[in-house]
Chain A
Amino acid sequence: GDSVIQMQGQVTLSENDFLFINCTYSTTGYPTLFWYVQYSGEGPQLLLQVTTANNKGSSRGFEATYDKGTTSFHLQKTSVQEIDSAVYYCAMRVRNSNNRIFFGDGTQLVVKP
C-alpha cells in the first residue's frame, strides 16, 4: 500500500550544521511529495512540494529532490539555525487516490545555539 517512512525520530544539531532528514515513499501511483514544518502548538505549514520526478523543491534554504529511482524525498539544509527547531513531516499525495494524503511519523529537529 501507499506509505511514507521517516526513520529518524529526532535529529540534534548545532547552529550552522548541515541538516539531512530521510524520507522514503512507497506507491504504485504517481505521487506529489511535500515537506511540512510544525512548530510547537501550531498547525503544520507547507514548506515545499515537488510534483515531477527528478525535480527539486526549495524554500527558506531547505531543499528536497524527488528521486524516483530510490523513491526518496530527503530534506536538506546547508546551515541550520535555532529557529529551525520544529517537527518536519514528509507527505505524499497520489493520483487516483488524491483525497488521501499520507504523512510520515515526523522528525523532531533540535538546533542548539
Chain B
Amino acid sequence: AQTIHQWPVAEIKAVGSPLSLGCTIKGKSSPNLYWYWQATGGTLQQLFYSITVGQVESVVQLNLSASRPKDDQFILSTEKLLLSHSGFYLCAWSTTGVNQAPLFGEGTRLSVL
C-alpha cells in the first residue's frame, strides 16, 4: 500500500527566515505530486505539481518554490518567510489520469511570527 509522509508536523518560524518542508511517497513509482496551501478556515489552494523528477510546474507561487529531487520526494521552500505564509501545507499524490483523485498527507502546520 502507498503511504505519504510529510515533515515536519509543525513549524514556528520568524519572518524573513528560510523554510523547507518535505513530502515522501512510498509504495508508488512515478507518482504525480502536488503541494497545496490552506489558510486557517480557508479552502485548498494548489501551489505546484510535478509529474516527474526534476520537473515542477507552478500554479500559484506565493513567493515559494518547489523541487522534486527524487521520484518519491517533493520539497517546498522559500528563502524568506512572510507573515502571509502561515497556514497548513498539504502534499498529495495521484497516479496519472484525469480520473485519479489526489490523496493527501497529514499536513504541516506553519506559524510565521
In angstroms, Cα B46 to Cα A93, docked, is 12
- Contact indicator A32/B43 (Cβ below 8 Å): no
* B106 near A100: Cβ-Cβ < 8 Å: no
Q: How far is the CA of A105 from the CA of B39 in the complex (A)?
A: 11
Closest to B4 in A: A43
Say whether A34 contacts B101, CB under 8 Å. Answer: yes
Residues of A within 8 A of B97 (CB): 98
CB-nearest residue of chain B to A97: B98
Q: Mark A59-93, 1 if CB is under 8 A from B, else 0.
A: 00000000000000000000000000000010101
Check B43–A104 contact: CB distance below 8 A. Answer: yes
Binary B-proximity of A93-113 (CB < 8 A = 1, otherwise 0): 111001111011110000000
Decide: A94 and B104 in contact? CB cutoff 8 A.
no
Q: Is the CB of A100 within 8 A of B101?
A: no
Residue of B nearest to A47 (CB): B101
How far apart are the CA atoms of A82 and B51 in the complex, in Å? 39
Cβ < 8 Å to B, chain A residues 25-51: 30, 32, 34, 36, 41-46, 49, 51
Q: Are A94 and B98 in contact (CB under 8 A)?
A: yes
Contacts of B100 in A (CB 8 A): 93
Number of interface residues of B (CB under 8 A): 24
Q: Pick the contact of A95 from B43, B57, B98 — CB < 8 Å?
A: B98
Closest partner residue, chain B, to A34 (CB atom)? B101
Q: Which residue of B lies closest to A6 (CB)?
A: B43
Compute how far the CA of A106 lies from the CA of B39 in the bound complex, rounded to whole angstroms: 12
Q: How far is the CB of A31 from chain B (nearest CB, A)?
A: 8
Kindly state whether residue B74 has any CB partner on chain A within 8 Å. Answer: no
Tell me, in angstroms, the Cα distance from A54 to B84 when the chains sit together: 41
How many angstroms from the CA of A44 to the CA of B49 in the assembled complex? 17
Report yes or no: B104 in contact with A45, Cβ–Cβ below 8 A. Answer: yes
Residue of B nearest to A106 (CB): B43
Q: Does B8 contact A (CB under 8 A)?
A: no
Which residue numbers of A lie inside 8 Å of B, CB to CB?
A: 30, 32, 34, 36, 41-46, 49, 51, 89, 91, 93-95, 98-101, 103-106
